[in-house]
Amino acid sequence: MQKLLFILLLLPFSVFAHGGDEHGPEKQAAAGPGYFHTEAVSDKYELLLKYEAIIPGEPARLRLFISNYKTNQAIDSYSLRISSPELPGQDFTVTRTDEGIYEISGIFPEKKTYSLRVGLNAPLGPDLILLQHIEAGKALTIAGEAVEGRSLTGSALLFAAGLLAGLAVMFFAMKARNKHANTTMLVLMVGLLSIPLGTQPLAAHEADESGTAKAGNTGSASFDIPKETQFLFNVYTRVIEAGAFTESIKLFGTVVPSSNGQALIQAPQNGRIMRLDVHVGQEVKKGQVLAVIEQNVDAGTQVGLLSERNNAEAEYRAAKKDYERLKSIEDIAARKDVAEAEARYRKAESNRALFAGNDSGEGANARMIVLRSPIDGRMGNFNFSAGATVNANETIFNVTNLSRVYIEAQVFDKDAEHVKPGMKYTVECTTNDVHKTAEVKLLAMAQSINPSNQSQRVLFEMENPGGEFKIGEFVNIRVFAQTNSKQMAVPNSAISEINGKPVVFVKDHAEQYRVAYVSTAENNGSFTVIGKGIEEKERIVVNGTYQLKMIFLNQ
- pLDDT grade for 177, boundaries at 50, 70 and 90: low
- pLDDT grade for 25, boundaries at 50, 70 and 90: very low
pLDDT > 50? residue 234? yes
Task: Choose between 429 and 256: higher pLDDT.
Answer: 256
pLDDT > 90? residue 113? yes
Q: How far apart are CA 421 and CA 437, in angstroms?
A: 18
pLDDT > 90? residue 41? yes
User: In 3-state terms, what secondary structure has residue 291?
Assistant: strand
Q: What is the CA 314 to chain-centroid distance, rounded?
A: 73
Residue 147 confidence (pLDDT): 37
Q: How far apart are CA 113 and CA 132, in angstroms?
A: 8
Q: How far apart are CA 198 and CA 150, in angstroms?
A: 8
The sheet carrying 213-215 orders its strands as: 27-30, 144-147, 205-207, 213-215
In this structure, the number of other CB atoms found within 10 A of the CB of residue 294 comes to: 16
CB 312 within 8 A of CB 344: no
With CA atoms as reference, report the closest residue to 227 among 79, 92, 32, 37: 37
- pLDDT grade for 277, boundaries at 50, 70 and 90: very high
Task: Choose between 141 and 489: higher pLDDT.
Answer: 489
pLDDT > 60? residue 144? no
- pLDDT grade for 116, boundaries at 50, 70 and 90: very high
Residue 198 confidence (pLDDT): 42
CATH 2.60.40.10 at 36-135, yes or no: no
Q: Which amino acid is at 193?
A: L
Sequence ranges of the domains in the chain? 2-28+145-193, 36-135, 223-242+488-553, 251-259+402-473, 265-396
In percent, the amount of the chain with pLDDT more than 90 equals: 40
- pLDDT grade for 56, boundaries at 50, 70 and 90: very high
Those residues with Cβ within 8 angstroms of residue 193's Cβ, 6 or more apart along the chain or in another chain: 11, 159
In this structure, the number of other CB atoms found within 10 A of the CB of residue 76 comes to: 15
Establish whether domains 36-135 and 265-396 are of one fold.
no
- pLDDT grade for 297, boundaries at 50, 70 and 90: low
Task: Choose between 25 and 424: higher pLDDT.
Answer: 424
State the architecture of 265-396 in CATH terms.
Answer: Beta Barrel (2.40)
* Cα dihedral 230, 235, 241, 242 sign: negative
Percentages helix, strand, coil for the chain (3-state, rounded to 5) are 25, 40, 40
Give the bridge partners for 275, in sequence order.
292
Q: How far apart are CA 262 and CA 398, in angstroms?
A: 7
First-last CA distance in the chain: 57
> Which of 1.25.10.10, 2.40.50.100, 2.40.110.10, 2.40.420.20 is the CATH number of 223-242+488-553?
2.40.420.20
CA dist 69 → 100, 218, 541 (Å): 13, 29, 12
Residue 468 confidence (pLDDT): 86
Q: How far apart are CA 207 and CA 34, in angstroms?
A: 11
pLDDT > 90? residue 170? no
Residue 353 confidence (pLDDT): 79
In percent, the amount of the chain with pLDDT more than 70 equals: 76
Q: Where are the alpha helices (DSSP H) in 199-269?
A: 227-232
Residue 163 confidence (pLDDT): 56
Q: Where are the alpha helices (DSSP H) in 108-178?
A: 154-176
With CA atoms as reference, report the closest residue to 446 among 431, 436, 458, 461: 458
CB 29 within 8 A of CB 143: yes
Residue 530 confidence (pLDDT): 92
Exposure class string for 181-210: b at 16+ Cβ within 10 A, else e: bbeebbeebeebeeeebeeeeeeeebbebe
- pTM, two decimals, is 0.57
Inter-helix orientation angle 154-176/179-193, to 10°: 170
Return the CATH class of domain 251-259+402-473: mainly beta
Cα angle for residues 536, 540, 544 (degrees, 5° grid): 165
CB 140 within 8 A of CB 29: no
With CA atoms as reference, report the closest residue to 248 among 477, 84, 555: 477
Task: Choose between 28 and 370: higher pLDDT.
Answer: 370
pLDDT tens-place string over residues 186-233: 444 544 444 444 433 333 333 343 333 333 334 468 999 999 999 999
Residue 336 confidence (pLDDT): 84
pLDDT tens-place string over residues 371-415: 999 999 999 999 888 889 899 889 999 999 999 999 998 888 888
Least confident of 102-116, 301-315, 330-344, 506-520: 301-315
